[in-house]
Structure 1
Amino acid sequence: MLSSDDFLSVVRLAPLVAIDLIVTDPRGAVLLGCRRNRPAQGSWFVPGGRIRKGETLDDAFRRIVRDELGDTMGGPACISARRADAVLLGVYEHFYDDNFAGAAGIGTHYVVFGYRMTAGSVTLPRQEAQHSAYRWMLPAELLADDTVHANTKAYFAG
């Protein structure tokens, strides 16, 4: 694992690669979490996470589903943790003016694979280190809500 200083150098010099999980319930509402950390701190955002060096996309997908959605949603009856069962919406670029450390003058650039998946249950994940709260919003609602981050809205625009 990189030290905070080394990771900040990576953020300064290169894009990060990540997977976002666009989780919908049977009504079509989308799972959003209120981010605790930078970047996008305080915004409602879809769950997701970085792909680690040496980690396959399939392994990263399984880990991110487990880490972001937890046991309440990650069980086989609720949602599949297999990337093959999700729908790739596309590859997106997320640009932020800040970074995880709050260091001045260093923005963050993500290249993100957006995957849509359907939850068979509307159980919300437990609050954890990345999110202070969770909620379900219909696409029209989240597009109209100023507290939902523009990068999340991009999954539903046009």
Structure 2
Amino acid sequence: MLNEADFLTVIRLTPLVSIDLIVTDGNRRVLVGHRRNRPAQGTWFVPGGRIAKDESLDAAFKRVVRSELGVASVERSSSRFFGVYEHQYEDNFAGASGFGTHYIVLAYAMTLSGTVPIGRFDQHSEYQWLLPDELLARDDVHENTKAYFW
């Protein structure tokens, strides 16, 4: 695991690879969380997370689902690959000045029952289920999340 200074150097010099989860409830509603952390702090965003060095995509997917949603034992094979996206932010996790964060995002779509308890409140202060039209109409939903539905 990198210390904060080394991780900032990585962010300054390279893109990060991550997984975003496009979670629907079977009624076309999409799960978004209100982000506690930078970048995109204070906006509504789909759940997601970085892929760690030497971590397989399957292991990263399971970890991101568990750490972002609190749901265990979801396999990547049960989701649908949604596409590759690029996210760029003016800030970074530490709020260091002079450089932003660049992500290459592998997006996966999955459906969870509305009865499954969802939430990891260390990452998001709250969650909402929104229809795509509602999500697109809101100013507080981050543009990178809206891009999944244009």
TM-score where L is the length of structure 2: 0.96
Are the equivalent residues in 1 in contact too, given 2:68–2:119 (CA < 8 A)?
Answer: no
Secondary structure of the residue aligned to 1:102 is: coil
How much has 1:26 moved relative to structure 2? 1.6
Q: Distance in 2 between matches of 1:145 and 1:110?
A: 23
Equivalent residue, structure 1, for 2:137? 144
What count of residue pairs does the alignment treat as equivalent?
A: 150
Distance 1:63 1:75 in 2: 8
Q: What is the identity, as a one-letter code, of the residue corresponding to 2:22?
A: I
| 4+ long deviations beyond 4 Å | none
After superposition, the C-alpha distances for 1:19-69 in whole angstroms (9 at most, x for unaligned) are 000000021100000000110000000000000000000000011111111
TM-score (ref. length: structure 1): 0.91
Question: Can you list the C-alpha shifts for 1:68-94, whole angstroms capped at 9, x where unaligned?
Answer: 110xxx256xxxx11111111100000
Provide the residue aligned with 2:89 in structure 1. 96
Q: What does residue range 68-83 of structure 1 map to in structure 2 within 5 Å?
A: 68-70=68-70, 74=71, 81-83=74-76
1:60 aligns with 2:60: yes
Matches within 5 A, 1:3-152: 3-70=3-70, 74=71, 81-152=74-145
2:7 partner SS: helix
Query: What is the aligned-residue RMSD (CA, Å)?
Result: 1.2
- Cα separation, 2, equivalents of 1:107 and 1:145: 24
Change (3 A) 1:51 1:116: same
User: 113-122 or 131-140, which moves further after superposition?
Assistant: 113-122
Contact 2:67 2:120 (8 Å CA) reproduced:
no
